[in-house]
Amino acid sequence: MRGKPAPKRKIEGDAKYSDVDIAKFINYIMERGKKATAQKVVYDAFEVIKDKTKQDPRHVFNKALKKVSPLLEVRGRRIGGANYQIPFQVRGERRFNLGCRWIIEAAHERKGKKMAEKLADEILAAANGEGAAMRKRETMHKMAESNKAFAHFAR
């Protein structure tokens, strides 16, 4: 690695809730630099969540992220001419990143509604332990569990 690593930028909270996690989520939703559009999608999704559950959407969002975020993941490693899938614990920052990414991907795969409604439905499903993002997490954990015999290769 040449030079020193780029410094971590401190992100400020979002405009409506002053929450750093929501601001990061908005940035993950954003495409082609259109932040206002991404904010509208997320805030509209939060309004749908508020109407459906009568709860604070931030609590539902945080609950969904906590449930979707993986504890273990597998990484491929070549040892002695063979490739092994080795289970590793996931760091906190990457857990958040993967959880957000899976919720957004699952919302994109839903058909027939506006993105805000699809996102709200996926967040609600994740908060209840259901949905495509939760299936992705379960698949990841099953893979890590089935390959735990190779955990001794991790350093």
The answer to whether residue 38 scores a pLDDT higher than 90 is yes
9 found inside a domain: no
Q: Model confidence over 73-119: pLDDT tens digits?
A: 988 888 888 888 888 899 989 999 999 999 999 999 999 999 999 99
Q: How far is 41 from 125, CA to CA, in rounded Å?
A: 18
Residue 6 within any structural domain of the chain: no
| Residue 41: inside a domain | yes
Nearest to 22 by CA among 14, 34, 30: 14
- Supply the pLDDT for residue 145: 87
- The verdict on residue 96 lying in a domain is yes
Expressed as residue numbers, the domain containing 77 is 20-153
Helices (H), the chain: 20-29, 35-53, 57-68, 92-109, 115-127, 132-146
Does residue 5 lie within any of the structural domains? Answer: no
In this prediction, what percent of the chain has a pLDDT beyond 90?
74
- What's the structural domain count of the chain? 1
Quote the pLDDT of residue 35: 95
* 122 pLDDT more than 90: yes
Residue 115 sits in a domain of what CATH number?
1.10.455.10
Q: Is 54 part of any domain?
A: yes
Q: Is position 128 within any domain?
A: yes
Question: Which has the closest alpha carbon to 128: 49, 64, 82, 85?
Answer: 64
In a domain, 45, yes or no: yes
